[in-house]
């Protein structure tokens, strides 16, 4: 029997809370709870980083230097160590993690840190067919100051699979979420797009969802077989700046992107 998929929410001064998938999709048959918008002025800063389970030194200083000023931090391979939870709850109003698999001490999976409380949270998992381990994804939504609702997809795509059946299967439920959403979307993470088949599947998915790819002029993203693994896609927003931070604090380099709302 498959384990139930859920997210763990970490908030300062509160016990960790287990969040199960919602009964209905965002904007489908339900009124969203009122929430304070992300406290952006004109720019929305987003940091995306596979943090390599915090196995290397300096990961915390990278987050402190670049993460504390971001409105959203999308981490992959985030282990819920006390140090990371303390950083998250000190600098952010909410941190949601989907445990993909449980290590001896702390679960590891995608984690989204946000400067506002999410009004929607949908955890997703997909099992690696060869290793029998799971990869996770998380769909959250946050009010924006312009009355729109921003959907954020944080994904760590399956890695070891033959062909693209499981890869495409993982993207399927995410596509359903994006297709039902009326407002802007940011989809980012470690897509493990190391083959031409995977790249084609990812770009086809982005096209179908009306998502554009963030381009990095000085591109130092982690690659495998000559192809980048980490991406940021978006819809309904404009990009004002995009950079890749070079660091030894993980086997991936963090991506830092600034967005601003598209004119109505």
Q: How far is residue 36's CA from residue 31's CA, in Å, rounded to a whole number? A: 15
Asked if 80 and 193 count as a contact pair (C-beta separation under 8 A), the reply is: no
Query: Can you name the residues that pair with 141 across neighbouring β-strands?
Result: 120, 151
Asked if 79 and 54 count as a contact pair (C-beta separation under 8 A), the reply is: yes
Q: Judge whether residue 19 has pLDDT over 90.
A: yes
Per the prediction, the chain carries an average pLDDT of 89
Kindly report the backbone phi and psi dihedral angles of residue 245, in degrees, each rounded to the nearest multiple of 5, phi listed first.
-90, 125
Q: Judge whether residue 1 has pLDDT over 50.
A: no
Query: Can you name the residues that pair with 190 across neighbouring β-strands?
Result: 156, 230
Residue 196: alpha-carbon gap to chain centroid: 23
Compute the average pLDDT of residues 59-87.
Answer: 93
Rounded to 10 degrees, the C-alpha dihedral 164/168/169/173 comes to 170
Q: Judge whether residue 143 has pLDDT over 60.
A: yes
Ordered by where they begin, the domains of the chain are: 7-12+42-261 (3.60.10.10)
Q: How far is residue 71's CA from residue 66's CA, in Å, rounded to a whole number? A: 11
Reported as a single tens digit per residue, the pLDDT across 78-126 is 999 999 999 999 999 999 999 876 555 678 899 999 999 999 999 998 7
- Find where tokens 């400067």 sit: 115
Q: State in Å, rounded, how far the first CA of the chain is from the last one.
A: 47
Reported as a single tens digit per residue, the pLDDT across 159-182 is 765 667 778 888 999 999 999 999
Q: How far is residue 11's CA from residue 53's CA, in Å, rounded to a whole number? A: 21
Compute the average pLDDT of residues 9-36.
Answer: 82
Sequence-ordered list of residues with C-beta below 8 angstroms from that of 105, at least 6 positions apart, any chain: 79, 81
Beta strands in 28-70 (DSSP E): 44-50
Alpha helical stretches, state H, 2-126:
59-62, 82-91
Q: How many residues does the chain have?
A: 264
Asked which of 2-16, 161-175, 202-216, 218-232 is least confident by mean pLDDT, the reply is 161-175
State how far the alpha carbon of 241 is from the alpha carbons of 53, 112, 220, 255, 261, in Å.
27, 21, 15, 11, 13
Kindly report the backbone phi and psi dihedral angles of residue 4, in degrees, each rounded to the nearest multiple of 5, phi listed first.
-65, 140
Strands 230-235 and 185-190 come out as antiparallel
Q: How far is residue 153's CA from residue 259's CA, in Å, rounded to a whole number? A: 15
3-state secondary structure at position 97: strand
């Amino acid at each position: 029997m498959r384990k139930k998929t859920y997210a763990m929410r970490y908030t300062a001064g509160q016990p960790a809370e287990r969040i199960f998938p919602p009964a209905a999709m965002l904007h489908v048959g339900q009124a969203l709870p009122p929430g304070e918008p992300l406290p952006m002025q004109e720019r929305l800063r987003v940091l995306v980083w596979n943090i390599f389970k915090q196995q290397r030194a300096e990961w915390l200083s990278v987050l402190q230097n670049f993460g504390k000023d971001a409105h959203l931090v999308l981490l992959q391979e985030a282990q819920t160590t006390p140090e990371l939870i303390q950083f998250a709850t000190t600098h952010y109003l909410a941190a949601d993690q989907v445990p993909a698999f449980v290590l001896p001490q702390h679960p590891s999976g995608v984690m989204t840190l946000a400067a506002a409380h999410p009004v929607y949270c949908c955890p997703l998992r997909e099992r690696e067919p060869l290793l029998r381990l799971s990869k996770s994804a998380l769909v959250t939504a946050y009010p924006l100051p312009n009355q729109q609702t921003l959907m954020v997809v944080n994904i760590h795509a399956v890695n070891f699979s033959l062909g693209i059946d499981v890869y495409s299967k993982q993207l399927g439920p995410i596509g359903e979420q994006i297709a039902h959403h009326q407002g802007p979307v940011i989809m980012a993470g470690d897509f493990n797009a190391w083959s031409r088949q995977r790249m084609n599947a990812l770009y086809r998915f982005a096209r179908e969802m009306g998502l554009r790819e963030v381009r990095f002029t000085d591109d130092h993203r982690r690659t495998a077989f000559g192809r980048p693994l980490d991406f940021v896609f978006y819809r309904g927003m404009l990009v004002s700046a995009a950079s890749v931070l070079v660091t030894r604090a993980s086997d991936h380099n963090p991506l830092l992107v600034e967005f601003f709302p598209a004119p109505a």
